[in-house]
Amino acid sequence: MKRAALVVGLAVLAAVPLWIGSSYYINVATQILFYAIFALAVNILAGYAGLVSLGHAGLFGIAAYTGAKLMTAGHGHAVVAAGTVVMTVAAAAVFAVLALRGTGLSFVMITVALGQIVWGVAYRWISLTNGDNGITISGRPAPLGLALTSPRAFYWATFVVFLVAVGSMAIFVASPFGASVRGTRDQPRRMNALGYHVWMIRFLAFLLSGFWTGVAGLLYLYYHQFVSPQAVALAASAEALLMVISGGTATLLGPITGAALVVVMKNVASAYIERWNFVLGAIFVAIVVFMPEGLVPGSVRMWRWATAAWRSGRARRARLA
């Protein structure tokens, strides 16, 4: 039953370009997929390891900028992809060494500061990053001779990467390593007493998160064929975190749902109002105040509460009548 649902779900997702005609919506679907990869990467830390990072847009941006620099330097796509991922994982290692000096709040603050450093470089180091104007690249790669220039082709390519990402996450969650990461979140002291190297487990989790952030950043670059400091801003980190939290942390489907929600809302909202950041902030506040467990579980709870209230109200009216 569960397997059948999975197969149907995958078939529907794979066929998205076929049943959605307009390339605008195919592009929205593509964005959902690579943001879902990004959200899954953030979820490794925020969900499973209990380390909330508000600097992941920094890593995302390092990936996009590295890819853009390598491409404008005239390298082939194999070099671009490999170089980008290696660079992002290396940056993640540096981030991890510094941020893991603290846990909890100090981890959050250090990641904010690290993310802002990357933003500062992207925005101010004009000779390297072209400042606010950003870097434009020309052309997407053609793996195995398949051109990815059309929205459909790029959707399918992203979908394949997305499947690999989700598969690797499923393996990670089920693996002993995944269990030890959750252990360091719930019982760091006990894990330490049991002989686990808590710091090393967190460090490796950070690297894994950095790897998928790098992949997502590269897809972002190929999708937009452009990168600017906006991709690195604190708001981008917050958005990624919102995807994770709105869908539900430490679940596999949560960040994917959250990415879909945020991307759709962002596209819909920007069609009607220009104040996306206000909406983003308001959603944050609303989620935290009213639905601390996440949008999806929270809505379910609110719905149950509302229907229960309605039913009991009707029963009372029936009694009075």
Residues that bind another protein (CB under 8 A): 52, 54, 98, 101-102, 104-106, 108-110, 112-114, 116-117, 120-121, 123-128, 233-235, 238, 241, 245, 275, 277-278, 280-285, 287-289, 292
Quick one: tokens of 147? Answer: 């051109």
Report which residue type is found at 128: L
What gap in Å lies between CA 45 and CA 32, rounded to an integer? Answer: 20
Minimal distance, residue 122 CB to another protein, in Å: 10
**Between 177 and 284, whose beta carbon lies closer to another protein?**
284
What gap in Å lies between CA 42 and CA 59, rounded to an integer? Answer: 11
The full DSSP string for 180-204 is HHHHHHH-HHHHHHTT--HHHHHHH
**Between 273 and 315, whose beta carbon lies closer to another protein?**
273
Minimal distance, residue 246 CB to another protein, in Å: 11
Minimal distance, residue 111 CB to another protein, in Å: 10
Minimal distance, residue 187 CB to another protein, in Å: 16
Strands (E), the chain: 135-136, 226-227
**Between 91 and 114, whose beta carbon lies closer to another protein?**
114
The three-state secondary structure class of 137 is: coil
What gap in Å lies between CA 312 and CA 307, rounded to an integer? Answer: 9
**Between 141 and 281, whose beta carbon lies closer to another protein?**
281
Minimal distance, residue 150 CB to another protein, in Å: 35
Minimal distance, residue 285 CB to another protein, in Å: 4
**Between 71 and 233, whose beta carbon lies closer to another protein?**
233
What gap in Å lies between CA 252 and CA 37, rounded to an integer? Answer: 11
Pairing assessment for the beta strands 135-136 and 226-227 based on DSSP bridges: antiparallel
What gap in Å lies between CA 265 and CA 127, rounded to an integer? Answer: 36
**Between 215 and 238, whose beta carbon lies closer to another protein?**
238
The three-state secondary structure class of 306 is: helix
Quick one: tokens of 234? Answer: 């604190």
Buried b / exposed e over 237-251, threshold 16 CB at 10 Å, is: bbbbbbbbbbbbbbb
Strands (E), 58-212: 135-136
**Between 100 and 161, whose beta carbon lies closer to another protein?**
100
Minimal distance, residue 203 CB to another protein, in Å: 15
Q: In Å, what is the CA distance from 289 to each residue of 268, 282, 283?
A: 24, 10, 10
Cβ proximity of 132 and 229 under 8 Å: yes
What gap in Å lies between CA 290 and CA 182, rounded to an integer? Answer: 26
Minimal distance, residue 190 CB to another protein, in Å: 16
Minimal distance, residue 117 CB to another protein, in Å: 5
**Between 44 and 166, whose beta carbon lies closer to another protein?**
44
**Between 117 and 309, whose beta carbon lies closer to another protein?**
117
Cβ proximity of 181 and 49 under 8 Å: yes
